[in-house]
Structure 1
Amino acid sequence: MNHSESFSGLQARGLFVTGTDTGVGKTAVTAALAQRCQKEMPRVAALKPIVSGVEAHGQWTDVEILRAASTPPRSFAETCLYALDLPITPHWAAAQAGLLIDRQQIQQFIMTQSVGMDAVLVEGAGGFLVPLGEDWGFAELALDLRFPVLLVVGLRLGAINHALLSVEAILARGLPMAGWVANHLHPDLAPGTLETLHRRMPIPCLGEIPFQAEASSAWRSQFLSLPACWY
């Protein structure tokens, strides 16, 4: 299946959510954005096609958060295609489980789950260049989708370099970018980080989420704007 056969006919607004690293709040931002979409769109799907790292009680927390944030709420199988136990990079977790992540199956999964939706948010895992196979990864999946890319920037020491390198890699592939979101990971922020990012990032900022432990997706949603490229 190629892009023209699969995604060009979708009526839903699409977005591919990536991050500057692992642990920067991609799931929190994706869920919050799904909640923000609800104000204007009755049917929103937040998807995480691949997750690695099962947590307590045998749950993949990221998937549970996204399926609950969708409208209407989705089942696990409607939110995630590959759920891998080991908390390591997905292609390696799949190999340890004796699995091969299939690029076309992921495309078909996203296509199927997008039918009838007003907006579809697809969250990656780790950063933009994380591999999913021997010769492809999330960068190639983003190219398959051709959805605008949203970059989640976890505000901590090193964020400036990670953010600018990520944007450079995304734009170098000719992908459209919806913007970036500043996500506070700690109460304190390295001086100058946010100010520098606002000056240097060549794409719009769609919001700044303050630090608050255990905040709900609905609470975070108030700090986000929808991408201008959707309109």
Structure 2
Amino acid sequence: MKKRFFISGTDTDVGKTYVTVGLLAAAKRAGLKSLGLKPIAAGAELVEGCLRNQDALLIQQASSVVLPYEQVNPVVLEAAIAPHIAAMQEGRLVTASRLEGYIKGALLTPHEFALVEGAGGWRVPLNDREMLSDVAVALGFPVILVVNMKLGCLNHAILTAQAIARDGLTLAGWVANSGPELMPCYDENLATLMAMLPAPLLGALPWCESEEDSQLAFDALLMAL
């Protein structure tokens, strides 16, 4: 049975790619045919004449199923700004249905485990009437929420979980991701989220652990799904 998840976050730069890549690596160690997709990415550099997003490259490399970059990241935008603004500056129109088509096309490749990573938080605009969450709804995959454990995370996480539920999707679980310094009252904030979020804590990831500890943490995350 295939396992497919949509990876979202409480904001941008919260560790979505870190979690996506770590889970893909764990799936590879487990011998699963796994693939990751980053359907839209803003912030890219020219590599051999082609725009490439660093997060998408990491996801491509971590997948055990080899896909061309254009399938991993079909919409790549140069400016590291809100995707709908970057698209507007480039004279492009990005729609939810087009992204859905790209994703479903890539998922025709035989696999056992797949992750689709979003951009920014849950309510990221694609154009003046659609959001990236519309793509997640069209796919219908359970959602993994990455929570950046910092001041303000309680509000961000609870509101995001409510929006996911309002959209009719299942929150499969959440990941607590820490920065270089633990937030004040970390344990108390973690306990609050465990009590108030309607899904299990899949794992709490510390900062800069050893490679061995990191692998063990992501192996445990994979087992929890």
TM-score by length of 2: 0.88
Give the match's secondary structure for 1:134.
coil
Q: 1:31 aligns with which of 21, 35, 46?
A: 21
Quick check: 2:6–2:144 contact (8 Å CA) kept in 1? yes
Shift of 1:189: 2.1
Shift of 1:187: 2.6
What is the aligned-residue RMSD (CA, Å)? 2.2
Give the match's secondary structure for 1:35.
helix
Inter-partner Cα distance in structure 2 for 1:24 and 1:150: 13
Which one-letter code corresponds to 1:157 in the other structure?
L
Higher share in helix: 2
Alignment size in residue pairs: 218
Give the match's secondary structure for 1:125.
coil
Quick check: 1:209–1:223 contact (8 Å CA) kept in 2? no
Aligned to 2:33: 43
Deviation string 1:205-225 (CA, Å, 9 cap, x unpaired) is 111111018969756524523
Q: 1:199 aligns with which of 195, 198, 212?
A: 195
Aligned to 1:146: 140
Q: Identity percentage over the alignment?
A: 34
Farther off after superposition, 28-37 or 62-71: 28-37
Q: 1:176 aligns with which of 170, 178, 189?
A: 170
Inter-partner Cα distance in structure 2 for 1:179 and 1:87: 28
Which one-letter code corresponds to 1:121 in the other structure?
L
Shift of 1:172: 1.2
Aligned to 2:207: 211
Quick check: 1:41–1:119 contact (8 Å CA) kept in 2? no
Distance 1:214 1:162, change over 3 A: farther
Residue 225 of structure 1 pairs with residue 225 of structure 2: no
Q: Which runs of 5+ in 1 are unaligned?
A: 1-10
Inter-partner Cα distance in structure 2 for 1:55 and 1:161: 34
* Pairing 1:1-231 to 2, within 5 Å after superposition: 12-54=2-44, 59-115=52-108, 116-191=110-185, 192-212=188-208, 218=215, 221-228=218-225
TM-score by length of 1: 0.86
Inter-partner Cα distance in structure 1 for 2:91 and 2:56: 22
Shift of 1:26: 0.4
Which one-letter code corresponds to 1:198 in the other structure?
M
Inter-partner Cα distance in structure 1 for 2:101 and 2:143: 19
Give the match's secondary structure for 1:203.
coil
Shift of 1:74: 3.2
Inter-partner Cα distance in structure 2 for 1:226 and 1:169: 26
Shift of 1:107: 1.4
Which one-letter code corresponds to 1:77 in the other structure?
E
Inter-partner Cα distance in structure 2 for 1:32 and 1:93: 28
